[in-house]
Structure 1
Amino acid sequence: MADMEQDQLFVEYVVKQIVNHPDDVKTDRIVDERGVLITLHINPEDMGYVIGRQGQTARAIRILLKIVGAKNNARVNLKIYEPEGSRRFQSAEAAPVDAEASVDDLGI
């Protein structure tokens, strides 16, 4: 853990305080010409805690991370890794709905 940068340590510390599975919190840090990208890997069960309602928690973490980055003269961005089985991907691939069956269920 000695080779981690301040921004990466900050993200891990904050997220570990929020989630139910702190041992599953991992970060990857990549530096390129656009700045620093920190990719956050968490337990899928904790995704809601980290993202928050309408993304408010994730937005707040990103704002604080930008402040930490500005202090160190770096542009820092946060990406939250979503595994393939996450809810966001499942809803996009939902089974087609039979409109007539739905209307029959309503009794109209």
Structure 2
Amino acid sequence: MDIEALIRAIVTPLVTHPEAIQITPHETAEYMAFDLAVAPDDVGRVIGKQGRVAQAVRTIVYAVKSPYQKRVRLNILDAPHSK
């Protein structure tokens, strides 16, 4: 399962600027981490009230069988970063 594609498929319908979605994978000592950045006015949509949407997205991503030997971690960033 391509975790990055899964994250993109879940987040795209939630945002008004899907072209601004940036997913950056990186490996830490404990996790295979994915940093999700969206347009500034879409951050609230992805996080949701009291973080409910973000928690639901994380639940789905963490439940999928990962091709990595490490646990998957999804970080939602406040603002897109430049590559």
Q: Which runs of 5+ in 1 are unaligned?
A: 84-108
Structure number with greater CO (CA < 8 Å, separation at least 6) is: 2
What residue is the counterpart of 2:11 in the other structure? 15
Summarize the alignment of residues 65-104 of structure 1 with structure 2, pairs less than 5 Å apart: 65-68=61-64, 71-72=65-66, 74-83=70-79
Query: Does the 8 A contact of 2:30 with 2:70 survive in 1?
Result: no
TM-score of the aligned structures, taking structure 2 as reference length: 0.84
Gaps of 5+ in 2: none
Q: Aligned partners of 1:36, 1:43: CA distance in 2, in Å? A: 23
Whichever residue aligns with residue 30 of structure 1, its letter is: H
The share of aligned pairs that are identical, in percent, is 29
- Report what 1:100 is aligned to: none
Correspondence 1:23-62 to 2 at 5 A: 23-62=19-58
Structure with higher strand content: 2
Name the TM-score, length of structure 1 as normaliser: 0.66
Q: How many residues align?
A: 77
